[in-house]
């Protein structure tokens, strides 16, 4: 499985294209700049089956409609973040002077769902706290895509609609930290890390060791 990151938009969101050697792929968090993402899809001749949103904030969803229109990919988000998509206050686009709405969601995800990419699987892990329906995606043996739940040496903000710091920390401690040390962390913003690195150095987490 190839993991191809593209940094998009004014908040430098990490969008990830995942694809196998047959060209079957998914896109995680196409937050903006859909033309950049589509150019890579064309170049690599990928068949994009799904667009998976780690949560409903505008900087993670903003390019999804354009990519869906061009590729026919289905859009998936956790069922508790669906309400953010049609509400510019809740998806924070209004704060940026826009009023973005994402229509046409196809799949509502929940804890325990799996998403097939060729012969590989992504496991859906519900990690509320940054938003109510925030999720992480585990690619076994490789790493976890953490959206705005967990960053290198930091965690997501919880001062927006649906945010709750205690719930966020509980999600990370109970659902992400039990994973193997060597697994990569692919966050929604900033550099990659590993589970082991965050367990020992992330100031929000290491106190719970």
Which residue's CB is nearer to Zn ion, number 50 or number 60?
60
Locus of tokens 């987490």: 205
* Sole binder of Zn ion in the list 57, 68, 90, 175 (CB under 5 A): 57
Task: State the Cα–Cα distance between residues 140 and 156, nearest whole angstrom.
Answer: 23
Shortest distance (Å) from residue 21 CB to Zn ion: 30
User: CA-CA distances (angstroms) from residue 9 to 32, 65, 74, 116, 191?
Assistant: 5, 15, 22, 28, 16
* Sole binder of Zn ion in the list 16, 24, 30, 59 (CB under 5 A): 59
- The single-letter DSSP state of residue 23 is S
Which of 56-64, 100-108, 120-128, 195-203 is the region at the interface with Zn ion (rule: CB under 5 A)?
Answer: 56-64
Tokens of 184: 């990569």
Which residue's CB is nearer to Zn ion, number 46 or number 61?
61
Which residue's CB is nearer to Zn ion, number 7 or number 66?
7
Residue 65 binds Zn ion, judged by CB under 5 A: no
Q: Report helix, strand or coil for 51.
A: strand
Which residue's CB is nearer to Zn ion, number 57 or number 175?
57
Beta-strand pair 74-78/47-52:
parallel
Shortest distance (Å) from residue 185 CB to Zn ion: 15
The torsion region of residue 104 among left (phi > 0), alpha (psi -120 to 50) and beta comes to: left
Shortest distance (Å) from residue 109 CB to Zn ion: 17
Residue 33 binds Zn ion, judged by CB under 5 A: no
How many residues would you count in the chain? Answer: 209
Tokens of 175: 């659902």
193 membership: H or E segment, kind and range? strand 193-194
Shortest distance (Å) from residue 24 CB to Zn ion: 27
Which residue's CB is nearer to Zn ion, number 59 or number 198?
59
**DSSP-H helix ranges across the chain:** 34-44, 58-61, 64-71, 82-85, 165-171, 195-201
Shortest distance (Å) from residue 154 CB to Zn ion: 12
Which residue's CB is nearer to Zn ion, number 19 or number 58?
58
- Interface mask toward Zn ion for 186-205; x: CB under 5 A: --x-----------------
Task: State the Cα–Cα distance between residues 8 and 27, nearest whole angstrom.
Answer: 13
Shortest distance (Å) from residue 13 CB to Zn ion: 6
Interface of this chain with Zn ion, residues 123 to 152, rule: CB under 5 A: 148
Contacting positions for Zn ion (CB under 5 A): 57, 59, 148, 188
């Amino acid at each position: 499985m190839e993991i191809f990151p593209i940094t998009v938009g004014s908040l430098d969101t990490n969008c990830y294209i995942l694809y196998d050697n047959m060209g079957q792929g998914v896109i995680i968090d196409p937050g903006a700049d859909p033309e950049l993402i589509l150019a890579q899809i064309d170049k690599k001749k990928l068949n994009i089956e799904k667009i998976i949103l780690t949560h409903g904030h505008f900087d993670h969803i903003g390019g999804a409609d354009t990519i869906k229109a061009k590729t026919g990919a289905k859009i998936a988000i956790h069922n508790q973040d669906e309400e953010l998509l049609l509400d510019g206050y809740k998806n924070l686009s209004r704060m940026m002077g826009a009023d973005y709405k994402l229509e046409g969601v196809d799949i509502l995800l929940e804890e325990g769902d799996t998403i097939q990419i060729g012969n590989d699987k992504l496991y859906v892990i519900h990690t509320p706290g940054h938003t109510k329906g925030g999720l992480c995606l585990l690619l076994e043996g490789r790493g976890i895509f953490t959206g705005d739940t967990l960053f290198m040496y930091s965690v997501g903000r919880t001062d927006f609609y649906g945010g709750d710091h205690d719930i966020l920390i509980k999600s990370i401690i109970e659902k992400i930290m039990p994973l193997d040390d060597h697994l990569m962390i692919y966050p929604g913003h900033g550099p990659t890390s590993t589970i082991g690195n965050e367990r020992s150095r992330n100031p929000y987490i290491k106190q719970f060791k």
